[in-house]
Structure 1
């Protein structure tokens, strides 16, 4: 089954009729393709996610599996695959294997062997192929959203604060117009504003500053921990690949 012009989803006959791919998966596959060994023509790997109640396969994560490919024969690093699977399950135990991916347009002679392997891992695996050569067109999302740098937590907080100030000014103007008789009062809006004000906790300015600073520190800590986790996984991947070469 084809979705769009750049990504192909292929299924064996079953009740599964649809799949959705999170953007992180596509970017991860492209990154693995860029960092592939010089002699490798394509990269393959495992897809993780879950099957929703309506039968849709939700693909949320992925990791590359080292392999050697020649003619119609494929040799997968099964030990590396199992190690990476255990590592991912420790972080996201709710995710399971839902299929596999490969780069390039369409399938090759060795794809049937790989699909057979993943069929032993999970019934009816999804095969996702990503056109890294852009033979079916260009990936617009990669070129239209160009920015000098990624926004940080402070930038996001600044945008939210500006938006909050703008909303407060709108409310202030509306209330002032109603009091001065320039706008007819609306009881529904009045009750909504009253409930909103009543729901706000009574905090002093120092308490609000402390609350914001504590929240910011928690976010920075999470970013630090996630960075350490990514570094550890990347290091484990490189060490396992080097061990296979040795």
Structure 2
């Protein structure tokens, strides 16, 4: 059989280069939905809203939970509720579109492929965001995935989730709240003065780093200046010496 006639297994990526950025509002909203979940629900899932830039970066700005029921071999989503919530959100923020979905828990589960398949019909290349509200690693781990298709010839056999780079974009005030959310236990919530103190400590540390950087730059410039003067003096002395020999 010729080489071109062989049938091989192939992984087809859903996107060549994809990364994600998530805003803290999304994380806070997911944690709040998890706390308010029905007693029988083990996890919460929902829709992610945002935009996709030209360089393939998915900006996740908003989210909402979607009621669901799941067992070991099937998952049922309230699709009508999902579409109604999407329409309501887009009335307020028409530029926000579906960019993927989220679930609470550490990593993907058996039912994740079924849910991802649904969102793949809603939007190309959806991002799957997982938030570990169970603190199984000692803190709330947040990860993002995309799906890769396993093909045998022209047949799609299965889907595989692969982690993609994820950045948390937040201002300093939001970071204080996020640091509290992602830890398992805290002694007490910081008041305004304590929050300001923590922010000032970080600011002083940044100023100290900038001072050291500027000091190093000044030292390097001084060395370059002295080297330049030395070269100029040597060149001048060489020319004067040559002129004296001619005379």
Does structure 2 conserve the Cα–Cα contact (< 8 Å) formed by 1:16 and 1:57?
A: no
Please list every run of 5 or more consecutive structure 2 residues that lacks an aligned counterpart in the other structure.
Answer: 1-11, 141-177, 194-247
Match in the other structure for 2:190: 147
| 1:47 aligned residue | 48
Q: Which residue of 1 aligns with 2:60?
A: 59
How far apart are 1:133 and its partner, in Å? 0.5
Aligned to 1:70: 71
Over 3 Å counting, the alpha-carbon distance change for 1:12 and 1:78 in structure 2 is farther
Residue in 1 aligned with 2:196?
none
Q: Which has the larger radius of gyration?
A: 2
Q: CA deviation at 1:34?
A: 0.5
Inter-CA distance 90–12: structure 2 relative to 1 (3 Å threshold): farther
Indicate whether 1:130 and 2:131 are aligned.
yes
Taking the aligned partners of 1:15 and 1:70, their CA distance within structure 2 comes to 33
Looking at structure 1, the residues matched to 74 and 105 of structure 2 have their Cα atoms a distance apart, in angstroms, of 17
Structure 1 residue 72, shift from structure 2 partner = 1.8
Greater strand fraction, Structure 1 or Structure 2: 2
1:42 and 1:82 map into 2 onto residues whose CA distance is: 21
Structure 1, unpaired ranges of 5+: 1-10, 151-246
1:101 is aligned to 2:102: yes
TM-superposed deviation, 1:75: 0.4
Q: In structure 2, how many angstroms separate the alpha carbons of the residues matched to 1:37 and 1:109?
A: 21
- Residues 112 and 89 of structure 1: CA distance in aligned 2, closer, same or farther (over 3 Å): same
Aligned length: 142
For 1:36 and 1:75, the matched residues in 2 are separated by 16
SS of aligned partner of 1:61: strand
Deviation, 1:109, is 1.3
1:1-246, aligned counterparts within 5 Å?
Answer: 13-139=14-140, 141-142=179-180, 146-148=189-191
Identify if the C-alpha distance between structure 1 residues 149 and 87 changes in structure 2 by more than 3 Å, giving closer, same or farther.
farther
Query: What is the TM-score with the length of structure 1 in the denominator?
Result: 0.54
For the aligned residue pairs, the C-alpha RMSD in angstroms reads 2.5
Q: Which has the higher helix share?
A: 1
Q: Structure 1 residues 92 and 12 mapped into 2: Cα distance closer, same or farther (>3 Å)?
A: farther
SS of alignment partner, residue 83 of structure 1: helix
CA distance, structure 1, for counterparts of residue 17 and residue 118 of structure 2: 19
- Distance in 2 (CA, whole Å) between partners of 1:46 and 1:30 is 14
Give distance in 1, aligned partners of 2:120 and 2:19.
18
